[in-house]
Structure formats: C-alpha cells, structure tokens
Amino acid sequence: MTRIFKFGGASIRDADAIRHLGDLIAGEAPKPQAIVVSAMGNTTNALEALLGSARGDDPADYRQRLAAIRDDHLAVAEAMFGPGSSVADELAQRLAELDAAHRAHRQAPYPFHYDQTVGMGELLSTALVAAWLNEIGVATRWCDARTLIITDDRHQAANIDWAATQERIASLTQAGDEVLLTQGFIGATAGGAMTTLGREGSDFSAAILAEALDADELTFWKDVPGLYNADPRRFANARQMAQLSYEEALEQTWHGAKVIHPRTLAPLQRRGIPLTVRSFLEPDAPPSIIGPEPGEGDRQPAFMLRDDQVLLDISIRDGSFVDEALMAEVLTRFAEAGLHANLLDVEALRLRLVVDHRPERLAPVLEALDERFSVARQDDLVLLTVRHPVDALLAHLDADRTRLVERCNATTAQRLYLAAECPDTWQIPD
C-alpha cells in the first residue's frame, strides 16, 4: 500500500513538535512511502518580512530579521542534536545562500525575488526533519523538490509541467523501507530557478507526488481533527464533516475554505486517491475523508469567510455596455496579475468584482484600467459564502448587517458586508 503523508508548519513548529512527528512516523504500519513537509511554524511569514526588508533601505532591520530566522532554526537543531551538529552546519550554509541571493536579486522583479527567498523555509525545515527521522531509526532520504516539481517561470504561482514532473518523480527509487522526504510549496523551472506554487502550496505538492506515485492514500496531518463546515477559529459551533466528495471540497476551497489548498484536489480526483485529514495532536480521533463518493458534507450548509476584501465597480468611460469582449479584457488583466475574483457580478453598464486586498498586485491593474475605465472602490469588507443555504439561515446571518452585494444560485449564496459590522466570532444558526 502506497501512502503519502504531508505535515504543515504547525506540526514542526519546534523541537518537541518534530520529535512528536518522528513518533507518529515510527508508529505507522505500513510506513509512508513519501513525506512532504512545510516550513517550520511562522517561517514563511518571517521570510516574507525579510524580503521586504531586503528590498528596502534599512540594512540593520534586514540583518536583525535574518539573525532571528537563523537563531530560531539553530536553536531547534541544538535542542535536538546538541551543539555543533552537522545539521546546524547545513542550516547555516543554507542561510548564507539566502543572504547571498538577496544581494544578487535585490533589484530583480519582486515575484522572482520572492521565490528565491520564501522557498528557503522548506529547505531548512526538511533538513531538520530528515535528520531527526534518521536519528530515531526511520531510514529517510532527503529529496530536493526543485529537481522533482518542474514548472514554468510564473513566479509565486507557478504552473506544473506535468510530463516532466511525472518523469522526475517516477525515477525515484527506494532502498528497502526507506522513506522519501521532500519539501512542499517549491519547485523549479527547467533551468533550475526556484519557483513557488502559491501560499499554502505544500498541499498541492503532496497531491502532485501522490498522483505521480499512484498512491493508495494521501494523509494531511493538521492541527485540527479534520474538515469542518466552517473555520472553527471563526465560528463557535462549527461541526466536523466525516466525508465529502471531491466536487464539494473543490467548491468549498474555491470559495475560501482554508484547510485544503484549492489546487490540491484535481490530481487526486484524476487517480481516485482519497484524501484523509487527521490531527497530529489527536492521531486516534476520527478523521475526515475526501473521495469520489458524496457524504454528509455534500448536503449540510458550509460557511467560508474572506476578510480584507475590496469591492470594485468598473464601467467604461464612454458609457458602453459591459459585453463579453469588455469583460474578457478586464478579467484578463486581473488574471495576469494573479488576482482571483472572489465574487463577480455584471450589469448592463457595470462589472462588479470582489478581490483580496493585495496592494502590490492590485495597484498596477487599476492604473492600467484607468485610461478607459472608471473604477469605484470600497475597502474593509468581509465576504461570506454559504454552500447549501436556506432562506431562514441567510436571514439570520444578514441581521444587523448591511448587504453591499449579494449573489445566489441553487447551491451557493454570497454576501458582502462592512467589516465594521461583522463579529470576530460568528454563530451558525440552528
């Protein structure tokens, strides 16, 4: 039985967490054939801040941020392997490479520089995890995802070269019970430049590996027991879903459910590989399973929130109708900038979009549109999407809130609210 495991950053946030991961792997029978690991804890956020500092004019701030990342990783290495270990030397070498890359790419386009910086988190974390697994007797081979996941050069959201990637992964060989361990989130162009697959892309990496190896099962180890019909951090009475179909899971992730990366499910669906979501904190708790057959998660209401949204009302300055050609022109600009329309509505004279507040991507698009289009903008909004809604439920959610935009079809309702009118913690009505 071919099993693939994926561990997120919370499951390796410190030395104790990595030891716990080792215990989980050692206790599994059969062992997974491959493991995909994210960056440690909040490393990705720290590397993004480091990137901003590296492109700025405050070298002292940059040095301080780089030292903090170095200290965090070296402290974990020392706690696990003692002072002066070979793992610490490897981490120091990787961080020296990162420092050199900043000097080389400081003036490069931001997306390229981003990938050369932020992808380092997974290279650091997997060095620690691979060394620990070998330390406790789980034979493990570290594999460089940059030689396995081949992509185009669309930095920050690279597209997979499926044929080349399949060939590279299929060429992997294992000795006995050896576990293959590699990085999530990153790949490389055919020329070797590091790329990333989008924020939280480690899920996608694991699905790519599972498809290429024709796995029987893919397991995501999370800090929650499974999939919920709402984010339990935002909805006080969210309920776990034991089973749901690929199609329903795709709809929920598309609309903002955060447990699974939106690009994850298509490779699994192509091979019919079930995805199991388990808790690394409570490994014996009942999991959630996504697969070809529908479950109760395909029928019960599910709730997705997107914070920090921007509403854009776009009309052409000469008063022309918003026809298909005009829509295509506008939407192409957003797509090329890597901006997804979380809600889209069209009227005779107006195209209405709701997008994430990403200033570095949004500003150039709006500047390009300004010559032909008039754009009205409203910030500080919250988008609520409800799958399988009923009227009474929607009426309860709308209470005491201003609906700026609403959209509804047979299976999905969306509401755009002022953030100031939304609670920190929501309650799902009975």
**pLDDT tens-digit map of 257-305:** 877 877 899 999 999 999 999 999 999 999 999 999 999 889 999 999 9
Condensed to tens digits (0 to 9), the pLDDT of residues 34-60 reads 999 999 999 999 999 999 999 988 999
CATH 3.30.2130.10 location in the chain: 302-421
In the predicted structure, residue 311 carries a pLDDT above the cut 90: yes
Distance CA 199, CA 403 (A): 30
Q: What pLDDT shows up at residue 13?
A: 94
| Cα–Cα separations (whole angstroms), residue 234 to 12, 230, 261, 305, 428 | 24, 8, 19, 9, 10
Contacts (Cβ under 8 Å, ≥6 apart) of 63: none
**pLDDT bracket for residue 69 (50, 70, 90):** very high
Residues 238 and 310 sit within 8 Å (Cβ to Cβ): no
Cβ atoms within 10 A of the Cβ of 400, count?
6
Q: Is the pLDDT of residue 430 over 90?
A: no
**3-222 fold:** Carbamate kinase (3.40.1160)
Select the highest-mean-pLDDT range: 95-109, 181-195, 216-230: 181-195
Which residue in this structure is represented by tokens 């990403």?
358
Q: Which residues pair with 151 in a beta bridge?
A: 160, 189
Least confident among 18-22, 143-147, 317-321, 329-333: 317-321
Residue with the larger pLDDT of the pair 371 and 309? 309
Percent residues over pLDDT 90 in the chain? 80
**What average pLDDT is seen over the chain?**
93
371 — pLDDT class (breaks 50, 70, 90): confident
By the 8 A CB rule, do 422 and 235 touch? no
Beta bridge partners of 244: 290
Alpha carbon of 246 to those of 143, 221, 253, 349: distances in Å?
Answer: 29, 18, 10, 37
Superfamily of segment(s) 302-421: VC0802-like (3.30.2130.10)
Alpha helices of 176-271 — where are they, by DSSP H?
Answer: 202-212, 246-254, 265-271
- How many other CB atoms are found less than 10 A from the CB of residue 368? 13
Which tokens belong to 32? 């997974």
Confidence of residue 173 (pLDDT cuts 50, 70, 90): confident
Task: Summarize the confidence of residues 218-246 as an average pLDDT.
Answer: 92
Residue 407 φ then ψ, to 5°: -145, 135
Residues of the chain with CATH 3.40.1160.10: 3-222
* pLDDT for the residue numbered 287: 95
Q: Would you state the pLDDT for residue 258?
A: 79
Quote the pLDDT of residue 309.
98
List the 3-7 sheet strands across, edge first.
140-142, 179-183, 34-37, 3-7, 217-222, 275-279, 288-291, 243-245
Report yes or no: 153 and 187 within 8 Å, Cβ to Cβ. no
The tens digit of pLDDT for each residue in 191-231 reads 999 999 987 789 999 999 999 999 999 999 998 889 999 99
Joined together, the tokens standing for residue 166 give 């399949």
What is the predicted pLDDT for the residue at 181? 97
How far is residue 418 CA from its own chain's centroid?
A: 26
In this structure, is the dihedral angle defined by the CA atoms of residues 340, 425, 264 and 127, taken in order, positive or negative?
A: positive
